[in-house]
Amino acid sequence: MAYFDAASAAPLHPVARQALLAALDDGWADPARLYREGRKARMLLDAAREAAAEAVGCRADELVFTPSGTRAVHTGVAGALAGRRRVGRHLIVSAVEHSSVLHSAEVFESEGGSVTRVPVHRTGAVSPSGYAAALRADTALAVLQSANHEVGTTQPVAEVAEVCRSAGVPLLVDAAQSLGWGPVEGGWSLLAASAHKWGGPPGVGLLVVRKGVRFAAQGPADERESGRAPGFENIPAVVAAVASLRAVRAEAARESVRLRELTERIRVRVPRLVPDVEVVGDPERRLPGTVTFSCLYVDGETLLHELDREGFAVSSGSSCTSGTLTPSHVLKAMGVLSEGNVRVSLPPGTAAEDVERFLAVLPDAVAGVREKLGAPAAAATAAEPAALVVDALGKRCPVPVIELAKVFPGVPVGGTVRVLSDDEAARLDIPAWCEMRGQEYLGEEPAEGGTAYSVRRLG
């Protein structure tokens, strides 16, 4: 099996495994206790905190361990907002943040706060000027990821941090996807990360709050982790997480070059091998191991199953995948095609042969799915008679776009076709299809039982 889903979770690093076993023997006791076992546990925890702080580039007393990256984000956002409540109740996030950030923002809104979601370019990146425009006198906090989890695009964190700093607003960086590759540059104020993304065990996140940043932890607290992460410390996992971080950092310079070359192969060759594919995300400013593309006329879940059968573990931001009926908010915010979406995220150590085999297998896998769905061939010539209205009500992604494509050859140049659909993904995918095909998207309007999307044929 070739595991190409490191952005979800990386398998445990061998160094982490060793450290975990050792710390299970020496670090299981309560570090608050005075007896020898307690003191041993405390020493392990202190040493892990020092090493983690060094890797992050902060002071040890600025860093606490949390039960996950998600909890680090929840705690960090809530604590920073509460700490600056007197300044105001305004929060800035990008439109492509991880769901843990967006969920925090939703809770804040439900409690009366206001949230600005900064849009992104088609590459997935924000502009520093987007954050500058969003800043207000009552802005309590801004949040930005270091790199996007679905498309790998890296964000201009240092520039955004500078924009925020000038306005006196703290910036929380969600470094979940990038901390294994190196420290986050720039004058950020808070940082969250997740160990299982860099080959540590699950159960460990970290939250950094720079000295001088106003912070008021919310909810019940206790005396552990500076009052910022209640509950018995998970020292064996913390020790393993930090050991893994140091190990992947030691390999980062070499591995980043190697993985970047492998993902570049995918970026360049997939569009040549598979018709009607859109590779998404920034081609240059991106994580070394992540590449994402969308295949027209393909159902993401079926393609994932095909690839799984061929021995490849990848993920997808398409709708109908993992039990959700809405496409990825990231692809939506980027305005790119969401159907047939495949994210390949290579763990360190991925063999070039596995990537080559993936490229060998992909074209047939995509073609097979398209055939099952009755999708038009790339160079469609056979056409049904023109039908100016396509009724795709009750049909799920990617069927509405396939139906559109089927009738399109029969539409005269300058003519229009209306697609009736009640599928949320159509709102994203019909405009994306128009862009890929060089046709004009005229807009949408409510229609009985759903929405009508109008397309004019330009050529």
Number of residues that bind its own copies (CB under 8 A): 65
Residue 117 has phi, psi (to 5 degrees) of -105, 110
Region of 52-60, 70-78, 183-191, 249-257 interacting with its own copies (CB under 8 A):
70-78
Region of 126-134, 226-234, 272-280, 363-371 interacting with its own copies (CB under 8 A):
226-234
Cβ–Cβ < 8 Å for 316, 300: yes
Q: Find the distance separating the first CA and the last CA of the chain, reported in whole Å.
A: 44
Check binding of 252 to its own copies (CB under 8 A): no
Least Å distance, CB 68 to its own copies, is 3
106 C-beta neighbours (distance < 10 Å), count: 13
Check binding of 20 to its own copies (CB under 8 A): yes
Neighbour order of strands in the sheet with 277-280: 277-280, 290-295, 341-345
Least Å distance, CB 314 to its own copies, is 7
Q: Is 384 exposed, middle or buried (0-12, 13-18, 19+ CB in 10 A)?
A: exposed
Check binding of 283 to its own copies (CB under 8 A): no
Check binding of 24 to its own copies (CB under 8 A): yes
105: helix, strand or coil: helix
d(CA 50, CA 65) in angstroms, rounded, equals 12
Dihedral Cα 66, 67, 73, 79, nearest 10 deg: -50
Residue 153 has phi, psi (to 5 degrees) of -60, 130
Exactly one of 295, 320, 397, 434 is catalytic; which is it? 320
Q: Which residues pair with 313 in a beta bridge?
A: 3
In the region spanning residues 80 to 109, those forming contacts with its own copies, defined by CB under 8 A, are 99-100, 103-104, 106-107
Dihedral Cα 432, 436, 442, 448, nearest 10 deg: -50
Binding mask 400-439 for its own copies (x = CB under 8 A): ----------------------------------------
Check binding of 347 to its own copies (CB under 8 A): no
In the region spanning residues 287 to 316, those forming contacts with its own copies, defined by CB under 8 A, are 301, 304-305, 307-308, 312-315
Least Å distance, CB 363 to its own copies, is 20
Our answer to whether residue 320 is catalytic in this structure is yes
Residue 418 has phi, psi (to 5 degrees) of -110, 125
Q: Measured on CA atoms in the order 95, 425, 407, 293, is the torsion positive or negative?
A: positive
Check binding of 17 to its own copies (CB under 8 A): yes
Check binding of 74 to its own copies (CB under 8 A): yes
Check binding of 202 to its own copies (CB under 8 A): yes
Binding positions for its own copies, rule: CB under 8 A: 1, 3, 5, 8-9, 11-12, 17, 20-21, 24, 28-30, 32-38, 67-71, 74, 78, 99-100, 103-104, 106-107, 194, 196, 201-203, 205, 219-223, 230-237, 301, 304-305, 307-308, 312-315, 321-323
Residues known to be catalytic: 320
